[in-house]
Structure 1
């Protein structure tokens, strides 16, 4: 069965547009949004100077020295997008938010009312420009995926023509912001499948056996079909979560706090029935008696944090970007699962995939943070660097796990695999001896003075060295006035009669050895 006709309204480079409005930048100033040291969006002016998505920040600034770098802020993007959604909703009811910068509307109703798809596209463009003050592009096709790609090109694809439209497009189009398929796209490209049509021509059984479930979903999109076959269920009527607020919510920070608990309650109720939400309805009532409603669509099943994010973004948009309720606070909030699917992603995985246990642990960690503060629960994020201590950054649970340094640049002298399983907070003093009992050092050319035979760690009795590897000399920031840092690293496996084997990572700096990591 062919997908329904969909109208997609796309505002190009929306994170940059929203960030520029908040920062007060003029349209002719090149700007880019950077996250994890990479460009995630850039303006047309910046692209004219050679800036593009995926570039490192330094490379982008090298191509365009006057580039203004903006922070990645999903809350800001969603808040600024609310006037655009309101403008589209005034013309076509049933607006669904896919993400800030992209909304979808069923094509059937507006097409009949305005007298055809070209008239709908022209009317939406004019109204969005007049009411929201931004430019947008319209795409109409069979299915959300094809309509989104059509909007990127400003095209109206004829009915039953989505498969032909998609066939000539690059396989890289499968990698969209809402669905990270960079690994799959890279693999397909290396296999010689350069277009969506070439991928769609493969038998589905072969795709399933080689690429798994995500490959099958991508294969359906390449064929111009919906990502999932029609296996959706009508949500039970008792799943709507309602919250009343007294006093009314009139501040963004209060709305952010209030969105957490109902989001977790809705997610728990769906999980208990083996369901997951892919279209979330958010309704609210204000003190002035105005009724507000918005629908958010998601490619993947919404987790509890995902529901909470969308509720927070929507309340933020209503409280700060709309003038229709004249500053009246929100007295009622309802979360409605508009469309649900079987919640396979919520079940425990057979081979350790994320499942119900991970969700339950995440909710428990959030409760701990609520009692002890965000800094009470930290997770390690692995990034770039040469020694294990520099590569790990601790961030509070729930925050963006962005590494302190980009892991992609070359790191000459980086510790080879395997990495230590335990890194002491303070390095442990060590003594490295040869078979004659003399101290082992490192020569100026990075070679050991003699072979390690025994190693004493933190004042304990020496242990015999069974095998060792290295040394790996590292000279960092030698151009700085202080001389930077120069050291040599060594991996060794020690014999421990009572405790078994012990493997350590040692570093020699200024003639002294210390333990930087322990392998367990």
Structure 2
């Protein structure tokens, strides 16, 4: 069994406010973006100001509330010195977002004689540097460690293998998915423990890959060491400069096309990058490397930002170094972007069908459509109908999907949700046999001649039905009719099949 990945999570509460206002205490203040509160001080929360409130509502709760615009770039710049401080005492610190960094616990814990001792020592260093509000969580995996750091104690250690127990009483809002949390709350599922108790297959069918991943996190599965898909060496992109470029903005501007090339290579491979290493080579031949993590996945702008941050950090270190120790940091002659951890793109695109798509996805899909032709990329929409083939409408990317049949109208005999993820067009022949090896039949009353025992060469584990379906019975040919069954085999495949004219056909398959 794989050992849990123990990590330290260093969390700095209300970091955007610390970056904007300096060390606490702060007067009642709120940072807003797009006319909504994205951060607020503890003194403002005491008067009912909350993250997500509209600006007018927050000011209605506290007339003396100070309102400032949020500057994410400043959050990043101000956190870089803190990250350098952490790295001097705990090499390998990885930035998840400004105000949150994670470190593998094994080496640090061995050096200090234990996880609690290491956390206490690291917290003392950070507090001495002027960050008394910092919190440290130690747990199996970054997700659990971050939530442990959110506790009231300066340091919280979750014992190995106890992630599920620690997470169980926390609210589902801890998953940071407002849409899923709202739906689960309406269904009466209000804690991570209740969410984790749901059947994993049913969660995947209902919420897709992203829902399945969040379900695994709620169950403490983040405690397992990830086995990322090894990145393809062809995903690496590099650019050289002649003459060397000295300014961070110059290099960032020049590397934009390289970042776009990395994203195109990732899109072509059907993956996204969750961890990247950036190698900077100066005109003295010195190579400066650093790894960066992203909470979801990198886009081109994120890669350019990391190059700029890395250059600004190097320039700051060179400027602060003593004269007798200062190293000659020359201009940059090459930048190399190396994806070091990738994940399936399907896990990171919840809005691909059925909701608004972001600009990055639209840009990437449009490029693919240019290569494959107008109908090479299509989107799916649900239409009305009794058969799965009638309910699926495929529209070329960029065009408005128009359902030929209203899905809201009643369609007697249609299949209720969830519908199969895979639809066979046309339906494929399939064998449904009894224990005696004979084909199962259906009589005029809709009764099976025998219980299904085998399907497509596999043993039947469970089945439901049959349900009659018929349409256009007034037509000269009698219309289309049959009887449906849902069957689960011993390979954990769920089939939707129907019998028509004495033969069995696979209409779809659940995933």
TM-score range, shorter chain: 0.5 to 0.7
**How many Å apart are 1:273 and its aligned residue?**
3.3
Once the two structures are superposed, the pairs formed by residues 365-380 of structure 1 within 5 Å of their partners are none
Of 35-44 and 257-266, more deviation after overlay is shown by 257-266
Of 362, 366, 373 in structure 2, the residue corresponding to residue 358 of structure 1 is 362
Aligned to 1:62: 60
2:36 and 2:55 in contact (8 A); partners too? yes
Counterpart Cα distance in 2 of 1:350 and 1:126: 46
1:250 and 1:319 in contact (8 A); partners too? no
Of 252, 272, 276 in structure 1, the residue corresponding to residue 272 of structure 2 is 276
2:36 and 2:53 in contact (8 A); partners too? yes
Secondary structure of the corresponding residue to residue 161 of structure 2? coil
Once the two structures are superposed, residues 399-452 of structure 1 have per-residue CA deviations (whole angstroms, 9 ceiling, x without a partner) of: xxxxxxxxxxxxxxxxxxxxxxxxxxxxxxxxxxxxxxxxxxxxxxxxxxxxxx
**How many Å apart are 1:310 and its aligned residue?**
3.4
Change (3 A) 1:288 1:75: farther
Of 160, 169, 179 in structure 2, the residue corresponding to residue 183 of structure 1 is 179
Counterpart Cα distance in 1 of 2:223 and 2:107: 23
Aligned to 1:340: 342
Counterpart Cα distance in 1 of 2:97 and 2:350: 28
Change (3 A) 1:87 1:168: same
**How many Å apart are 1:283 and its aligned residue?**
3.2
**How many Å apart are 1:109 and its aligned residue?**
1.0
Of 283, 294, 297 in structure 2, the residue corresponding to residue 298 of structure 1 is 294
Counterpart Cα distance in 1 of 2:27 and 2:300: 39
Change (3 A) 1:287 1:76: farther
1:204 and 1:219 in contact (8 A); partners too? yes
Once the two structures are superposed, the pairs formed by residues 14-413 of structure 1 within 5 Å of their partners are 14-21=15-22, 27-131=25-129, 133=131, 135-153=133-151, 154-175=155-176, 181-226=177-222, 232-246=228-242, 248-285=244-281, 292-319=288-315, 323-324=319-320, 328=329, 330-331=331-332, 332-344=334-346, 358-360=362-364
Once the two structures are superposed, residues 267-291 of structure 1 have per-residue CA deviations (whole angstroms, 9 ceiling, x without a partner) of: 2233333332111122334568775
2:35 and 2:54 in contact (8 A); partners too? yes
Change (3 A) 1:52 1:347: closer
1:37 and 1:57 in contact (8 A); partners too? yes
1:6 and 1:141 in contact (8 A); partners too? yes
**How many Å apart are 1:247 and its aligned residue?**
5.2
Once the two structures are superposed, residues 311-357 of structure 1 have per-residue CA deviations (whole angstroms, 9 ceiling, x without a partner) of: 34444454458745679455143322121223446999995786997
Secondary structure of the corresponding residue to residue 272 of structure 1? helix
Once the two structures are superposed, residues 23-61 of structure 1 have per-residue CA deviations (whole angstroms, 9 ceiling, x without a partner) of: xx8733232211111111112232234322112212222
Counterpart Cα distance in 1 of 2:54 and 2:361: 36
2:281 and 2:287 in contact (8 A); partners too? yes
Of 56-65 and 260-269, more deviation after overlay is shown by 56-65
Change (3 A) 1:351 1:289: closer
2:141 and 2:222 in contact (8 A); partners too? yes
Counterpart Cα distance in 2 of 1:363 and 1:251: 32
1:9 and 1:151 in contact (8 A); partners too? yes
Change (3 A) 1:345 1:4: closer
Counterpart Cα distance in 2 of 1:361 and 1:330: 37
1:197 and 1:222 in contact (8 A); partners too? yes
Once the two structures are superposed, the pairs formed by residues 478-497 of structure 1 within 5 Å of their partners are none
2:275 and 2:340 in contact (8 A); partners too? yes
Counterpart Cα distance in 2 of 1:2 and 1:249: 45
Change (3 A) 1:110 1:227: closer
Counterpart Cα distance in 1 of 2:315 and 2:132: 20
Counterpart Cα distance in 2 of 1:184 and 1:66: 35
2:318 and 2:329 in contact (8 A); partners too? no
Change (3 A) 1:303 1:247: same
1:125 and 1:135 in contact (8 A); partners too? no
Once the two structures are superposed, residues 374-418 of structure 1 have per-residue CA deviations (whole angstroms, 9 ceiling, x without a partner) of: xxxxxxxxxxxxxxxxxxxxxxxxxxxxxxxxxxxxxxxxxxxxx
**Structure 1 stretches lacking a partner, 5+ long:** 176-180, 365-520
Counterpart Cα distance in 1 of 2:115 and 2:91: 16
2:139 and 2:145 in contact (8 A); partners too? yes
Counterpart Cα distance in 2 of 1:300 and 1:28: 31
Change (3 A) 1:349 1:26: closer
Q: Please give the root-mean-square deviation of Cα atoms over the aligned residues, in Å.
A: 3.3
Change (3 A) 1:270 1:224: same
